[in-house]
Amino acid sequence: MAVKTRVYQEKNIAYQNDQEKNNILEIDDLSIFYGENQAVKHAGLNIEKNAITALVGPSGCGKSTFLRSINRMNDLIAGARSEGRIIYDGVNLLASNINTIALRKEIGMVFQKPNPFPKSIYNNIAHALKFYGIRGKRQLDQMVEESLKKAALWDEVKDRLHQSALSLSGGQQQRLCIARTLAMEPNLLLLDEPSSALDPISNAKVEELILQLKEDYSIIIVTHNMQQASRISDYTAFFLNGEVIEYDHTKKIFTNPSEQKTEEYISGRFG
Ligand SMILES: Nc1ncnc2c1ncn2[C@@H]1O[C@H](COP(=O)(O)OP(=O)(O)O)[C@@H](O)[C@H]1O
Ligand SMILES: [Mg+2]
pLDDT, one tens digit per residue, over 22-38 is 999 999 999 999 999 99
Integer distance in angstroms from the first to the last C-alpha of the chain?
Answer: 42
Neighbour order of strands in the sheet with 37-48: 37-48, 23-34, 80-88, 91-92
66 CA closest ligand 1 atom index: 17
Encoded amino acid at 70, one letter: I
Q: What is the mean pLDDT of each run of 10 residues along the chain (271 residues)?
A: 41 53 95 98 97 97 98 96 96 95 96 96 95 92 97 97 97 96 97 93 93 96 94 98 98 97 91 68
CA angle 248, 253, 257 (to 5 degrees): 105
Q: What is the pLDDT of residue 269?
A: 79
By most ligand atoms within 8 Å of CB, the mutation choice from 32, 64, 111 for ligand 1 is 64
Q: What is the pLDDT of residue 1?
A: 35
Q: Check pocket membership of 63 for ligand 1, CB cut-off 6 A.
A: yes
CA distance 127 to 135: 10
Q: What is the pLDDT of residue 17?
A: 52
Q: What is the pLDDT of residue 19?
A: 65
Beta strands in 134-193 (DSSP E): 188-192
Burial of 243 (0-12, 13-18, 19+ CB in 10 A): middle
Q: Which ligand is nearest to the CA of 68?
A: 1
Neighbour order of strands in the sheet with 107-110: 107-110, 188-192, 218-222, 52-56, 235-240, 243-249
Nearest CA to ligand 1 atom 3: 34
Nearest CA to ligand 1 atom 8: 65
Q: What is the pLDDT of residue 15?
A: 52
Q: pTM score > 0.75 for this model?
A: yes
CA distance 226 to 14: 38
Q: Check pocket membership of 132 for ligand 1, CB cut-off 6 A.
A: no
Q: List beta partners, residue 82.
A: 32
CA distance 269 to 161: 47
**How far, in Å, is the centroid of ligand 1 from the Cα of 34?**
8
35 CA closest ligand 1 atom index: 4
CA distance 18 to 253: 28
Q: Check pocket membership of 62 for ligand 1, CB cut-off 6 A.
A: yes
**How far, in Å, is the centroid of ligand 2 from the Cα of 94?**
21
Encoded amino acid at 239, one letter: F
What 3-state DSSP class applies to 38? strand
